[in-house]
């Protein structure tokens, strides 16, 4: 009986530790958000420069631009995830849940982009790509709403709402070359700045 009681107490202590870790562990997605904002923000500026003839290049240059941006981000992501694994709280319930949400966002955006690419190559009409910025920010908004719900941090929920507003704004500029500049501003607001905030909250020591 004493042994059974000790086992139950150990189980309760273990579950309490997990709950505390999930509640207090800082989110570790900051470097990924900052990297995504820098790479894809720069890609949008380059897209604007290509389409407004600021840069004279092949008509296929925009396609290669985004393929290159995706490859660079993929390589950076692999390095960043490797670094995250050594940080306290990586295996917390909060980081696992929020990490899964952001992974789903990334895969969803990539699959949508591939689908739109297939449409463009098949039909020769690339206007469908104008919907990508709106889709991106709707996905970002959903991920931030989930992060806010998991952590009970109000500013994350507000960032999600701002992302939804950004989705509408970039949709308004669809067909206008200014859309790429607007995208850069919005991704700075909903990825770069929040990413820096999360990085400041990360533990400084590896345990």
Q: In this predicted model, what pLDDT tens digit does every residue of 137-168 receive, in sequence order?
A: 999 999 999 888 888 889 999 999 999 999 99
Indicate whether 129 belongs to any domain. yes
Average of per-residue pLDDT across 49-65: 86
Q: What percent of the chain has pLDDT over 90?
A: 45
| Parent domain of 145 | 2-201
Residue 127: the pLDDT is 87
Indicate whether 155 belongs to any domain. yes
- Determine how many CB atoms are found less than 10 A away from the CB of residue 163: 25
Indicate whether 206 belongs to any domain. no
Indicate whether 50 belongs to any domain. yes
Q: How many domains does the chain have?
A: 1
Asked whether residue 20 carries a pLDDT value surpassing 70, the answer given is no
Indicate whether 207 belongs to any domain. no
Average of per-residue pLDDT across 73-91: 83
């Amino acid at each position: 009986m004493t042994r059974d009681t000790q086992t139950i107490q150990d189980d309760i202590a273990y579950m309490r530790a997990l709950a505390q870790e999930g509640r207090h562990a800082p989110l570790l997605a900051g470097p990924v958000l900052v990297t995504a904002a820098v790479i894809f923000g720069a890609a949008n500026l380059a897209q604007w420069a290509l389409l407004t003839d600021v840069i004279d290049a092949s008509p296929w240059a925009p396609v290669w631009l985004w393929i290159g941006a995706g490859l660079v981000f993929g390589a950076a992501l692999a390095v960043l995830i490797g670094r995250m694994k050594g940080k306290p709280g990586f295996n917390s319930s909060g980081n696992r849940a929020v990490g899964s949400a952001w992974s789903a966002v990334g895969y969803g955006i990539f699959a949508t982009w591939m689908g739109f690419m297939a449409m463009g190559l098949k039909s020769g009409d690339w206007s469908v790509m104008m919907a990508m910025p709106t889709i991106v920010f709707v996905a970002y908004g959903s991920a931030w709403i989930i992060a806010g719900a998991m952590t009970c941090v109000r500013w994350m929920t507000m960032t999600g709402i701002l992302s939804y507003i950004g989705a509408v704004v970039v949709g308004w500029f669809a067909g206008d070359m200014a859309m790429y500049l607007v995208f850069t501003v919005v991704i700075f607001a909903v990825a770069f700045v929040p990413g820096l905030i999360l990085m400041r909250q990360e533990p400084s020591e590896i345990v």
